[in-house]
Structure 1
Amino acid sequence: MRGLKILLACLALGAVSPAAADPMLTGFAYPFPVKRFTFESQKQELSMAYMDVAPSGIGNGHTAVLLHGKNFCAATWESTIRALREAGFRVVAPDQVGFCKSTKPQRYQYGLHELAKNTHRLLEAIGVTNPIIIGHSMGGMLAFRYALMYRDEMSALVTVNPIGLEDWKAKGVPFVSIDELYAGELKKTDAQIKEYQRTTYYDGQWRPEFDRWVDMLAGMYQGEEGAAVAWNQALTSDMVFNQPVVYEFPNIRVPTLLLMGAKDNTAIGKARASEAVKAELGKYEKLGPRTAEAIPNSTLVMFDDLGHSPQVQEPEKFNQTLIENLEKILAQKEKSKTAK
């Protein structure tokens, strides 16, 4: 009730954008049919929305699993899904619990390990074995955790501008409570969302086709159910801030492809850090090489002119790079297998 009062007050003040209310994205079309995986977790029934897209023509026998970021949904992978299926891959793209078309629970102990387990259960249920796990932003952080938990059950790991390449708290970003994070989420406007995406995702550039993703995100915050979206966003912000994976990179044992837009400057909590700390955070042109050095058997590709979302900013360039490098990794694995 308190969250609803805050939300109504924000609406009265014009602090929340006038985007159409759609907390479950029921009116937002995904590029392929949406299915549901219902399961029990933490003593409650939950539902994960997902797309399961067959390859065009004869498949290559591999499945790519696409994990979205915190301000993204499975639909944001649209161009990559199409490119991968044309290249012969089966593609599975879920919405994590708490996001987009999936359940937004009032109570849930979020953890990267928990989301990885949920994803693993989904893949088991639909018969996916040895997947290629591809994660962007928070989904990249989740993909790292998945690879640490299920390294013997996957073919390869790909991360696209993952967050968690540095420990923000250890670097001096102040802690804030979940209540404070929640209050901040309730105040988000479409104008704020657009400006953040422009400066972080697209290196200060904007094209009309990017508006779709602002509308998608802003619409989820509207209406009475928008408070549930804000609450889950606050919980997952706390999760990524307090569960760094950077210290475990040397333990990753699957072939890894790192795709990085060098113009990215994402760092969770950067806005509340001192100017001195802020100046040292989110430098992906340095974080990329440092990460590649830490992860055994990894390949780094830097997009020098792109930001946090290279797959949206320049989809053709990104998809070609992704598929070419995936084919190299899979060919090398097959060669090693034959040699044995």
Structure 2
Amino acid sequence: MPRLALAPALLAFSFAALPCRAETAYGPELQGFDYPFPVERYEFTSQRQPLQMAYLDVKPDKPNGHTVVLLHGKNFCAATWEGQIRALTGAGYRVVAPDQIGFCKSSKPGAYQFSFRQLAENTHALLDKLGIAKPIVVGHSTGGMLAAHYALLYPKEVEQLVMVNPVGLEDWSAKGLPPISIARWYERELKTSAESIRNYEKATYYSGRWEARYEPWVEMLAGLNRGPGKEAVAWDSALLYDMIVTQPVVYRFPQIAVPTLLLIGQKDNTAIGKDLAPPEVRPTLGNYPELGKAAAKAIPGATLVEFPESGHAPQMSEPEAFNKALIDGIGR
């Protein structure tokens, strides 16, 4: 297995450390926000409409013959995987990181039946175009739910599955979250601001701590949500939240038939729509120390690695430990 060399610049997230201009507005496909690697486009037709999926395809100097596909979370983009891309390519892996339809630099269709199956099929079509037959699929947060669906849909075409603090480790509706209309999700999304993003991420992603290197990712999302396409962005976001809440994957964990690694920050308390749940229900949702163990037990042969001091995004809060655990885990 290739040894991981962690340069100081990598751990500092060189791209994320760049200063951001206050109140910058970005286009509906994140026009004006630069990624740390060249962005490529996959143009295809889905649900009777032309779409484009932005993606990064970063190749190592010394290939080891394996490809890692990185699937971002709801409030993340391909660019937020920068530290992992540098670590993985340094260890010999080719890395493909797409922006899913409805997110970041990809199309924002006004009428689209979002489902995890559809997003998995879109991703599979992209990988087929790139000639990638059996990747290691890594998904974080909502991307973890997507990665699980991908492994269920294409079990013979996945080398390994890695889920990083995935949402969907529990069925929130079954636990008491009331029905939330798309109109209500849309209304909430239109109110998104840098302050609301920062406060949520500090509490949930970074367990109450904040560092300057997280700020560019806040401005990335805030600029997208304050830009000229903010209504389209908010509408797709509402559709995606409905998808996440109404399409739980936890019941199918026993059917996952590929080697699986779970990387779980123990201070995570994520539960979509938790603030809309009855007060007596809220404390029961998003208990990741319990949820991670339950998922590892439900998925045949799964390996669980816990990060005691991390919240929802261990790959960003403690990248050195995370990158080592990831590369050690997929290299076994």
Superposition TM-score tier, normalisation by shorter sequence: over 0.9
Matches for 1:18-57 after TM superposition, within 5 Å = 18-57=23-62
Deviation of 1:18 after TM superposition, in Å, equals 3.7
The one-letter amino acid paired with 1:179 is A
Could you tell me whether the CA contact under 8 Å between 2:42 and 2:126 is conserved in 1?
Answer: yes
Structure 1: give runs of 5+ residues left out of the alignment: 1-16, 329-340
Pick from 238, 247, 252: which aligns with 1:248? 252
Q: 1:204 Cα deviation (Å)?
A: 0.3
Give secondary structure in 2 for the equivalent of 1:184: helix
Give secondary structure in 1 for the equivalent of 2:305: strand
Query: Which residue of structure 2 lines up, in the alignment, with residue 67 of structure 1?
Result: 71
Partner of 1:140: 144
Q: Residue 27 of structure 1: SS of its match in structure 2? A: coil
Say if 2:107 is the partner of 1:96. no
* Backbone CA RMSD of aligned residues: 0.9
| Superposition deviation, residue 240 in structure 1 | 0.5
| Residue identity opposite 1:259 in structure 2 | L
1:189-204 paired onto structure 2 within 5 Å? 189-204=193-208
User: In structure 1, what is the Cα distance between the partners aligned to 2:57 and 2:279?
Assistant: 45
**Residue type of the partner of 1:53?**
V
Provide the secondary structure at the position in 1 that maps to 2:174. Answer: coil
Deviation at 1:43, TM superposition (A): 0.2
Partner of 2:213: 209
- 1:81-125 Cα deviation digits (max 9, x unpaired): 000000000000000000000000011000000000000000000
Q: Which protein has the bigger helix share?
A: 1
- In the other structure, the counterpart of 2:240 is 236
The aligned counterpart of 1:293 is: 297
| Structure exhibiting the larger radius of gyration computed from Cα positions | 1
Show the counterpart of 2:10: none
TM-score scaled by length of structure 2: 0.92
Match of residue 130, structure 1, among 120, 130, 134: 134
Identity %: 57
Q: TM-score, normalised by structure 1?
A: 0.90
1:297, distance to aligned residue in structure 2 (A):
1.4
- Report how many aligned residue pairs link the two structures: 311
1:227 offset after TM fit, Å? 0.6
- Alignment-mate amino acid for residue 209 of structure 2: Q
The correspondence for 1:188, drawn from 192, 210, 228, is 192
How many Å apart are 1:193 and its aligned residue? 0.5
Where does structure 2 lack aligned partners over 5 or more consecutive residues?
A: 1-21
Which of 214, 220, 226 is equivalent to 1:222? 226
Deviation at 1:189, TM superposition (A): 1.2
Kept in 2: contact 1:21–1:226 (CA 8 A)? no
